[in-house]
Amino acid sequence: MSVPLTAPAPATPPHTGGLLLLVDGTPGLLTVAALGIALLLLLIIKVRLQPFVALLAVSITVGLLAGLSVTELFGTVQRSDAVSTIESGMGGILGHVAIIIGLGTMLGAILEVSGGAEVLAGRLLGLFGERRAPLAMGLTGLLFGIPVFFDVGIFVLAPIVYAAARRSGRSVLLYCLPLLAGLSMTHAFLPPHPGPVAAAGLLHVQLGWIILMGAVCGLPAVLAAWAYAAWIGQRIHVAVPQDMADAAEEAKRTVLAGQRAQGVAPQERPVPLGTVLAVIGTPLLLILAATFSSIALDPSPGRSVLEFAGNPFVALTVALLLACYLLGIRRGWSRTSLEAVATSSLKPVGNILLVVGAGGVFGAVLKASGVAQALSDTFHDVGLPVIALSYLVSLVLRVAQGSATVAIVTTAGIVAPLLSADHHSQAFTALVIMAISAGSIFASHVNDGGFWMVAKYFGISERDTLRTWTVLESVLSVAGFAVAGVVSVFVV
């Protein structure tokens, strides 16, 4: 499912009534685009302005410089029914993204609090044994990373990494890097994470195609990252950070105390692994079934039922209700405690939704002002395939300012006209989104919060974090893009 972004877009620039200097023709519009990107990077990197505010300020500046009038940007007080470019851009993307991210976040929180992560990691460690414990940690990150955010996954699973490394006496890198690769892959390539969901909304792609292409591109990429992790983990020894291990135990006690206060009684009986996998897999299977029923089946009541159940809003609601019952009510949680866990999980997503919404505004302004079409025409003349161009633009933005979400939403707005002009299929556009997502995780370094989180949680020096985590992310990025590029040859 996708919700189209609509913005008041005259057929051709130039516009009249702009507040600032008006520009005519492709060279002027390209200059405005370049100045806009430069200003965005300046505000985020040097001024340290919050990305939501930076994107909004740049969107307004680009619109005015390109000739949009104040009325086109903000609407008019005389007509309350007139939809402004800013309102349509913000509302169009958040109408699609906010519900999915909200439902996915609550689902992940219930899995986390119920102990699903510990069960998943424990069963995998028991299945693979001590020698293959790094692979078990990688699979844990891959599976648990589907419904939870990257930083939450680190917080929940870090104590398991400490225990495995302490038990074996080997470098903590052997266990944390495969875990991080799994968490990062799902965060970059799969719904309900904000990046791929936002790109799907901006480029009008069904989430079923995002899930399918995310698996096609992400799984080989994570295998490459695991191979690098196994190699580098043998060469750099990092001891278990005792202070972080102690802090993790203290945090766990605090969480348990908070759960008791909310009426969530600790369970002696662990969550069944099948229940955890069912809760994680249900929305993915429902969405995929709906996507392919629309291709393989003729219109019928059965197809309608599949399409209804596989609507992302419905599929995630079903999964959330399953989690509430199977992991909560059935295991003694009160309804009040379920509400408290779900509500508290939504607090950190406000910033993400605002950044995604501002990215929608940026895309709408580029379209309405004619800047997007000028970029499209120029990129066509360059001769680079759109999938390569998307990766490079996203990579540059990522390395320059650090935020993967900003890189994704900005790149999607820039390349959207290229895709609409050539009438590409949903499958091909999903591959372009994979390329954008791959570019957005390249070379995590000191301007990325994830870099410092990894260094802090696992006791890795800044130098060794650059040699391990930064390279791991680059391997994941390049491998994911390479697979997307190869598959795109066979998809129109």
Q: What is the pLDDT of residues 34-54, one digit of tens each?
A: 898 899 989 988 898 889 999
Taking the C-alpha atoms of residue 474 and residue 466, their distance in angstroms, rounded to an integer, is: 11
Amino acid at 242: Q
Furthest C-alpha separation in the chain: 72
Domain boundaries, the chain: 92-216+240-345
Tell me the chain's radius of gyration from C-alpha atoms: 23
Taking the C-alpha atoms of residue 171 and residue 343, their distance in angstroms, rounded to an integer, is: 38
Task: Identify whether the C-beta of residue 426 lies closer than 8 Å to the C-beta of residue 205.
Answer: yes
Q: What is the per-residue pLDDT for 253?
A: 64
Q: What is the per-residue pLDDT for 16?
A: 43
Q: What is the per-residue pLDDT for 156?
A: 86
pTM of the predicted structure, to 2 decimals: 0.86
Q: What is the per-residue pLDDT for 372?
A: 78
Closest CA to 205 of 442, 481, 437: 437
User: Would the pLDDT of 1 be above 80?
Assistant: no
Q: What angle do CA 251, 348, 173 make, to 5 degrees?
A: 50
Per-residue pLDDT tens over the stretch 465-485? 999 999 999 999 999 999 999
Task: Identify whether the C-beta of residue 488 lies closer than 8 Å to the C-beta of residue 218.
Answer: no
Per-residue pLDDT tens over the stretch 357-405? 988 898 888 888 888 778 777 877 777 889 999 999 999 999 998 889 8
Q: What is the per-residue pLDDT for 95?
A: 84
- CA distances 292 to 207, 310, 424, Å, are 11, 10, 18
Q: What is the per-residue pLDDT for 72?
A: 83
Per-residue pLDDT tens over the stretch 272-326? 889 999 999 999 999 999 988 988 888 899 899 999 999 999 999 999 999 999 9
DSSP assignment of 29-74 equals HHHHHHHHHHHHHIIIIIS---HHHHHHHHHHHHHHHTT-BHHHHH
Task: Identify whether the C-beta of residue 66 lies closer than 8 Å to the C-beta of residue 370.
Answer: yes
User: Would the pLDDT of 7 be above 50?
Assistant: no
pLDDT tier for residue 9 given thresholds of 50, 70 and 90? very low
Task: Identify whether the C-beta of residue 238 lies closer than 8 Å to the C-beta of residue 464.
Answer: yes
- Taking residues 426-436, what's their average pLDDT? 96
Per-residue pLDDT tens over the stretch 55-109? 999 999 988 888 888 888 887 655 554 568 888 888 888 887 899 999 999 998 8
Taking the C-alpha atoms of residue 424 and residue 205, their distance in angstroms, rounded to an integer, is: 11
Q: What is the per-residue pLDDT for 250?
A: 67
Taking the C-alpha atoms of residue 273 and residue 117, their distance in angstroms, rounded to an integer, is: 10
Intra-chain end-to-end CA distance of the chain, in Å:
20
Which distant-in-sequence residues (6+ apart) come within 8 Å of 237 by Cβ? 170, 171, 173
User: Would the pLDDT of 11 be above 60?
Assistant: no
pLDDT tier for residue 18 given thresholds of 50, 70 and 90? very low
Per-residue pLDDT tens over the stretch 145-197? 999 989 888 988 988 898 888 888 999 999 999 999 999 999 999 999 999 99
Long-range contact set of residues 333-342: C-beta below 8 Å, sequence gap at least 24 = 333/263, 333/264, 333/265, 334/263, 334/264, 336/262, 336/263, 337/259, 337/262, 337/263, 337/264, 338/110, 340/262, 340/263, 341/109, 341/110, 341/113, 341/262, 341/264, 342/106, 342/109, 342/110
Q: Where are the alpha helices (DSSP H) in 370-489?
A: 371-382, 386-401, 404-422, 426-439, 449-458, 462-465, 471-488
* Partner residues linked to 69 by β-bridges: 18
Beta-carbon count within 10 A of 251 CB: 15
User: Would the pLDDT of 12 be above 70?
Assistant: no
Which residue carries 């100045």 as its tokens?
35
